[in-house]
Structure 1
Amino acid sequence: MEKLTLVLKKIIKMHSKILSALEENNIHYKEIEHSSFLAPINSPIDFAGALGLDLERISKSVFLRSKKRDKYIIAVCSCNKKLDLKKIAALADVNKIEVADRQELESMIGYPPTGVSAIGLNPSITVFIDNALLNLETIFIGSGEIAKELELSPKDLVKLSNGKLSNIC
């Protein structure tokens, strides 16, 4: 039984919640492992360079919380942009937001810090997606696992995450 588990872990490279959402919604995607490149991938700049793409196509998903810890948010934008926390707080109807800690990330989402994704989340977590991502044909997002990314349409990300589009940068 242990051997079968190991084989399945090698075949399924992304988090199972994300894979289920993609399959249930018949979403076209491509999975890319950092280890498939000759040069090491240590940053989004490395990843974009290895792909030969503009950095704006590599997204970041940041797990945020209200100061009172009663509201949780994922904010998604191009990794070369800076999130405007005041705008996001206003959109979320809270006074102040901050980056959630690692324990909250693990307990509430179950993805590692470098594999956060807006897909497969508890519906109580609000997702805001920077509307500039819709100008791109495809983007790269976290797969729920370390050193593995997914390429998909930003429109599909909005659909899968029930994301709210806004200018959050």
Structure 2
Amino acid sequence: MAGKGTPATTLLAKRRIAHKLHMYDHDPRQESYGLEAVAALGIAAERVFKTLVAEVDGKLTVGVVPVTAQLNLKALAAAAGGKKAKLADAATAQRATGYVLGGISPLGQRTRLPVVVDASARRFDTVFCSGGRRGLEIELAPDDLVALTGATVAPIAG
């Protein structure tokens, strides 16, 4: 891999998990990092997942959903065993994960947070998620993503 690795890529290498790295030139004018990855890499949008940090009953929790979907906060709260969820503010998400917005990976986060992966991920042999910086996507089997993050799998996309 050209350039510096990330905690996400380090975790995958350490655990010897089969994966592929996909890099592209990030355009800072883009508003949707996930859709930028879809266009740059020429892949189906439903296979590219975004990582969102939310607060479920005051506890930070990560939701991983397709880039074309919204995170259903009520479904996330239920899947995480809580009652109410709201998106965390950007500074909180960046501080907790150690990643910048647009590069938040569900893998290798600074603080290990509970993760819920949308059930649609299991429809594919491989899915894409952020590699820990803008312009870097990791392709891996959804079951590996779930195992590495200790995720719950539930329908959380709206």
TM range (shorter): 0.7 to 0.9
Q: Output the amino acid matched with 2:15.
A: N
- Separation of aligned partners in 1, 2:147 and 2:9: 15
- The yes-or-no answer on 1:18 pairing with 2:8 is yes
Query: Does structure 1 conserve the Cα–Cα contact (< 8 Å) formed by 2:35 and 2:67?
Result: no
Q: Which residue is equivalent to 2:53?
A: 63
CA offset at residue 90 of structure 1? Answer: 1.7
CA offset at residue 54 of structure 1? Answer: 1.5
Q: Which residue is equivalent to 1:29?
A: 19
Query: Does structure 2 conserve the Cα–Cα contact (< 8 Å) formed by 1:111 and 1:117?
Result: yes
CA offset at residue 105 of structure 1? Answer: 1.6
- Separation of aligned partners in 2, 1:120 and 1:147: 17
What SS does the corresponding residue of 1:113 show, helix, strand or coil? coil
CA offset at residue 133 of structure 1? Answer: 0.5
Identity in percent: 27
CA offset at residue 152 of structure 1? Answer: 1.3
- The yes-or-no answer on 1:47 pairing with 2:29 is no
CA offset at residue 92 of structure 1? Answer: 2.0
CA offset at residue 82 of structure 1? Answer: 2.0
Gaps of 5+ in 1: 1-9
- The yes-or-no answer on 1:83 pairing with 2:37 is no
Deviations 1:55-83 (Å, cap 9, x if unpaired)? Answer: 1011111011135x3x1111001111222
Higher Rg of the two aligned structures: 1
Deviations 1:20-58 (Å, cap 9, x if unpaired)? Answer: 21012111222122229xx99934334323333211011
- Separation of aligned partners in 2, 1:40 and 1:101: 20
- Separation of aligned partners in 1, 2:29 and 2:142: 23
CA RMSD of aligned residues (A): 2.4
Size of the alignment, in residue pairs? 154
Q: Which residue is equivalent to 2:97?
A: 109
Query: Does structure 1 conserve the Cα–Cα contact (< 8 Å) formed by 2:35 and 2:45?
Result: yes
User: Could you tell which deviates more after superposition, 45-54 or 89-98?
Assistant: 45-54
Query: Does structure 2 conserve the Cα–Cα contact (< 8 Å) formed by 1:40 and 1:46?
Result: no
TM-score by structure 2 length? 0.85
Query: Greater helix share, 1 or 2?
Result: 1
Q: Output the amino acid matched with 2:37.
A: F
Q: Output the amino acid matched with 2:104.
A: V
TM-score by structure 1 length? 0.80
Structure 1 pair 103/151, CA: closer, same or farther in 2 (3 Å)? Answer: same
- Separation of aligned partners in 1, 2:50 and 2:90: 16
- Separation of aligned partners in 1, 2:135 and 2:15: 24
Query: Does structure 2 conserve the Cα–Cα contact (< 8 Å) formed by 1:115 and 1:144?
Result: yes
